[in-house]
Amino acid sequence: MKTPRPAKAEQSAVNTRKFTGTDKLLGAFPIRRDTVTAEILSRLIGGESLTGMDAVFSASTTRLSAVIFYLSESYGWTIDHADIDVGTSDGRVAVIRAYFLDRPTIRRAFDAGALKFCQSVKDARAKTRKRAPKAKAEAAKRNAARAAAKFNPHQGALFSGGADR
């Protein structure tokens, strides 16, 4: 038995839904606004297209793909991507991935309160960044302690480039 074909108006509605992206689910906004996850989502909602290096400099994370996966799996966001060829400084051509939200999803996010969400994320992340100098000093202190703990005084000049006399 054949499945009946939809009428022209019904088919037009189906095609419009596919074109405008309304079949995609709108995800939830993270509760905590001072997180990398919230910042990445805020940037995507703001229309940015993010690569791994963009995330390093803008959100201080080297794990963009993990955040994208988390937003998808835990918060229900449908995040699109495109692969881009880039020339590297050592003469290779590498393929990187850029993540983005499509325009209909962004529009629906703003209808669901994204403007307030994005502003609260911006404020919370600015407050967090004020603690950066203290965090950097603490990291330097920990690294110095770690290096001192690894020092073996019995090795002397073995690794310093000269021999003991």
% of the chain beyond a pLDDT of 90: 71
CB 95 within 8 A of CB 84: yes
**What pLDDT, on a 0 to 100 scale, did the predictor assign at position 12?**
46
Asked, for residue 83, whether it belongs to a domain, the answer is yes
Asked, for residue 107, whether it belongs to a domain, the answer is yes
How many separate domains does the chain show? 1
For the segment 57-91, what is each residue's pLDDT rounded down to a tens digit?
999 999 999 999 999 999 999 999 999 999 999 99
Amino acid identity, position 124: A
Asked, for residue 133, whether it belongs to a domain, the answer is yes
% of the chain beyond a pLDDT of 70: 78
**Mean of per-residue pLDDT scores for the chain:** 85
**What pLDDT, on a 0 to 100 scale, did the predictor assign at position 34?**
94
| Residue span of the structural domain in which 104 resides | 25-149
Asked, for residue 6, whether it belongs to a domain, the answer is no
Asked, for residue 122, whether it belongs to a domain, the answer is yes
**What pLDDT, on a 0 to 100 scale, did the predictor assign at position 9?**
46
Asked, for residue 13, whether it belongs to a domain, the answer is no
Q: Is the dihedral of CA 51, 67, 82, 41 positive or negative?
A: negative
**What pLDDT, on a 0 to 100 scale, did the predictor assign at position 151?**
73
Asked, for residue 16, whether it belongs to a domain, the answer is no
Tokens of 158: 């073995």
Asked, for residue 159, whether it belongs to a domain, the answer is no
3-class SS at 56?
A: helix
**1: pLDDT confidence band, cut at 50, 70 and 90?**
low
